[in-house]
C-alpha cells in the first residue's frame, strides 16, 4: 500500500516540479497579469502566458514528440504544443496568415497621399541593423554566445513587428524564439511608455507644434495597384521577403478591390483571431525553463529595448532632416511611428502632438510611416534571411 502511495506521489507535479519550471510558471502568470490587468497586447500575451504554464507543467507532455516503434507504427502521439509549434511556427504558416489579416486591416491611403513618409518608415528600420551589429559585437567579444544568425533574429525586434520577428527567429534562431517573441510583443505593448520620452527629448516645443495639412484623397485605383506593384517589385528584387509581403499585399488587395468582402472579413476577424490563439500557444511552447532561463535571454531583452529605442529615434531624426530641405514641413513626431507597431505607434504620436497643441491631429499623418514601417520591417527580414539564411 505504501509503495502504491509512493508511486502515486512520484507521479504528481509537486514531486517532479523543478525550480526553473516554477520560475517559468510565475513568468507565465505575470504575462497573463499584464494582459488582463494592464491591457498589454492581451491577444498575444494571454495565450503566450497560458502556453508558458502548460509547457512547464512536469509530466504533462504538452511539448513531447510522437514516439514510433521500429517499423514506424505510432506508439504514443505528441503533445498539443508540439504539433502547434511544428505545424504552424516552424513552417512559418502562422506569421504568414497573420500578415494576410494585418494586410486586410491596413489602409495604404495615408502613405500614398504623402509618399515621403516612406522614408520615415525606412529610417526607423535602422534600429534593426544597429542591433545586429551590437549583437555580433557581443558574440565576437565573448560576452554573449550569439552567432550571426542569432544576431539577425534578435535585431528584427527593433521593427516592433511580432509576426516578422517570429518568422525570422523560427528560421534563423529557433532556440531563441521564446525570448525574441516575448521581447517583440512586450515592447509593442510598451510603446506608450517607451516612445514619448524619446520623442520629447529629440524635438523642441515648436517642432511638436507643427500642424500638417489635410491629406489628399487617394483613389480606389491607386489603392488596388499599389499592393500589386509592391508584390512584383519584391518578387523581382528581394524574393526572400516575398512570403511576408506577398501575404500582406494579398490581404490588402482583398480589402481594397471590393469584390471579395466575405474573404476580407474572414481574414480580418475569424481567421486572424484563430491563428493568434495558436500562435500564442506555440510561442509559449518555446518558453520552457531549459530554453528560457539563461543569461542570453536577458541579453536579448536588453538588445530588443535598444533596437526599439534606436528605431524610434532614427525615424524622428529623419523627419527633422527632411524638414531642413522641404518647403512643407512634417511634424517630427510622426517619424516615431515608423516602427511597425500598428496602430499603437501612430496613436502615441497623435497623443504627444495633442499634448503640445490641442488642435494638432496627427493620427492619419502618422499612419503613413506606420504602414511604411510594416513594409520596411518585412524588407529588413528578407535581407536578413537572404544574407544569413542563405
Give the chain's length: 390
Calculate ∠ Cα 79-85-89, nearest 5°.
170
Same domain, 145 and 178: yes
129 in the same domain as 36: no
Task: For the beta carbon of residue 381, count every other beta carbon within 10 angstroms.
Answer: 32
State whether 253 and 370 are in the same domain: yes
Cell of 280: 500564442
Q: What is the pLDDT of residue 231?
A: 93
**Domain co-membership, 91 together with 203:** yes
Digit-coded pLDDT (tens) for 32-61: 998 899 887 788 889 989 999 999 998 888
Overall pTM surpassing 0.75 (yes/no): yes
- Look up the domain containing 49 and give its range: 2-60
Cell of 209: 507644434
Q: Is residue 166 part of a domain?
A: yes
Nearest to 202 by CA among 349, 387, 29: 349
Q: Are residues 226 and 325 in the same domain?
A: yes
Q: Give the separation between CA 255 and CA 268, rounded to whole angstroms.
A: 9
* Domain assignment present for 238: yes
Q: Please report, to the nearest 10 degrees, the dihedral formed by the alpha carbons of residues 252, 257, 261, 267 taken in order.
A: -20
CA–CA distance, 284 with 291 (Å, rounded to integer): 11
Residue 291 · residue 20 · CB < 8 Å: no
**Residues forming beta bridges with residue 76, ordered by sequence position:** 67
Cell numbers that stand for 58 in this block:
512536469
pLDDT less than 50: residues of the chain? none
The Cα–Cα gap between 20 and 22 comes to 5
Residues 107 and 208 in one domain: yes
Q: What is the biggest distance separating any 2 CA atoms in the chain, rounded to whole angstroms?
A: 88
Q: Where does the chain show beta strands of DSSP type E?
A: 67-68, 74-76
Q: What is the dihedral of CA 178, 181, 182, 186, to 10 degrees?
A: 180
Q: What pLDDT score was predicted for residue 93?
A: 93
What's the pLDDT score for residue 11? 63
Q: Are residues 92 and 234 in the same domain?
A: yes
CA distance 80 to 6: 29
DSSP state of 161: -
* Nearest residue to 153 via CA among 342, 383, 319, 337: 383
Which residue bears the cell 555580433? Answer: 136
Does 67 fall in a domain? no
- Give the distance, in angstroms, between the CA of residue 265 and the centroid of all CA atoms in the same chain: 22
* Co-location of 90 and 54 in the same domain: no
139/38 same-domain check: no
Element of type H or E holding 100: helix 93-104
Q: Which of 88, 86, 84, 106 is nearest to 97 (CA)?
A: 88
DSSP states along 50-87: HHHHHHTSTT--TTPPPEE-TTS-EEEPPPHHHHHIII
CA atoms within 13 Å, Cβ hemisphere of 362: 33
Q: For residue 63, how far is the Cα from the chain centroid?
A: 23
Residue 6's pLDDT is what? 61
Please tell me the predicted confidence (pLDDT) of residue 367. 92
CA 268, CA 277: separation in Å to the nearest integer? Answer: 14
**Total domains present in the chain:** 2
- For the chain, how are helix, strand and coil distributed in percent, rounded to 5? 75, 0, 25
| CA neighbours closer than 13 Å in the CB half-sphere of residue 222 | 13
The CA distance from 102 to 249, in Å, is: 9
Same domain, 152 and 7: no
Residues 93 and 27 in one domain: no
Residues 56 and 137 in one domain: no
Amino acid at each position: 500500500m505504501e509503495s502504491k502511495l509512493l508511486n502515486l506521489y512520484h507521479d504528481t507535479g509537486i514531486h517532479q516540479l523543478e525550480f526553473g519550471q516554477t520560475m517559468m510558471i510565475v513568468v507565465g502568470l505575470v504575462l497573463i497579469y499584464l494582459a488582463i490587468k494592464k491591457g498589454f497586447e492581451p491577444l498575444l500575451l494571454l495565450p503566450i502566458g497560458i502556453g508558458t504554464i502548460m509547457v512547464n507543467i512536469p509530466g504533462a507532455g504538452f511539448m513531447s514528440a510522437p514516439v514510433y516503434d521500429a517499423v514506424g507504427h505510432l506508439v504514443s502521439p505528441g503533445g498539443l504544443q508540439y504539433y502547434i509549434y511544428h505545424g504552424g511556427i516552424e513552417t512559418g504558416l502562422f506569421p504568414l496568415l497573420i500578415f494576410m489579416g494585418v494586410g486586410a486591416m491596413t489602409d495604404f491611403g495615408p502613405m500614398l497621399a504623402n509618399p515621403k513618409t516612406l522614408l520615415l518608415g525606412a529610417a526607423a528600420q535602422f534600429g534593426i541593423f544597429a542591433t545586429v551589429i551590437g549583437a555580433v559585437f557581443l558574440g565576437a567579444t565573448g560576452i554573449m554566445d550569439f552567432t550571426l544568425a542569432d544576431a539577425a533574429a534578435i535585431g528584427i525586434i527593433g521593427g516592433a513587428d511580432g509576426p516578422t520577428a517570429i518568422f525570422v527567429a523560427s528560421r534563423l534562431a529557433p532556440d531563441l524564439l521564446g525570448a525574441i517573441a516575448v521581447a517583440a510583443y512586450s515592447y509593442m505593448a510598451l510603446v506608450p511608455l517607451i516612445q514619448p520620452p524619446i520623442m520629447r527629448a529629440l524635438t523642441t516645443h515648436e517642432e511638436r507644434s507643427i500642424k500638417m495639412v489635410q491629406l489628399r484623397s487617394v483613389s480606389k485605383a491607386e489603392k488596388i495597384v499599389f499592393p500589386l506593384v509592391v508584390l512584383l517589385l519584391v518578387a523581382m528584387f528581394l524574393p526572400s521577403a516575398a512570403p511576408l509581403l506577398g501575404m500582406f499585399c494579398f490581404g490588402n488587395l482583398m480589402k481594397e478591390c471590393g469584390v471579395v468582402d466575405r474573404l476580407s472579413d474572414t481574414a480580418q476577424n475569424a481567421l486572424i483571431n484563430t491563428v493568434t490563439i495558436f500562435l500564442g500557444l506555440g510561442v509559449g511552447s518555446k518558453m520552457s525553463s531549459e530554453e528560457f532561463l539563461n543569461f542570453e535571454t536577458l541579453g536579448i531583452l536588453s538588445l530588443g529595448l535598444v533596437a526599439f529605442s534606436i528605431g524610434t529615434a532614427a525615424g524622428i531624426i529623419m523627419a527633422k532632416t527632411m524638414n531642413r530641405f522641404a518647403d512643407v514641413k512634417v511634424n517630427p513626431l510622426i517619424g516615431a511611428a515608423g516602427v511597425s507597431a500598428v496602430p499603437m505607434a501612430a496613436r502615441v504620436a497623435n497623443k504627444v502632438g495633442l499634448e503640445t497643441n490641442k488642435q494638432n491631429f496627427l493620427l492619419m499623418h502618422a499612419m503613413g510611416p506606420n504602414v511604411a514601417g510594416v513594409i520596411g520591417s518585412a524588407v529588413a527580414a528578407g535581407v536578413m534571411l537572404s544574407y544569413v539564411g542563405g
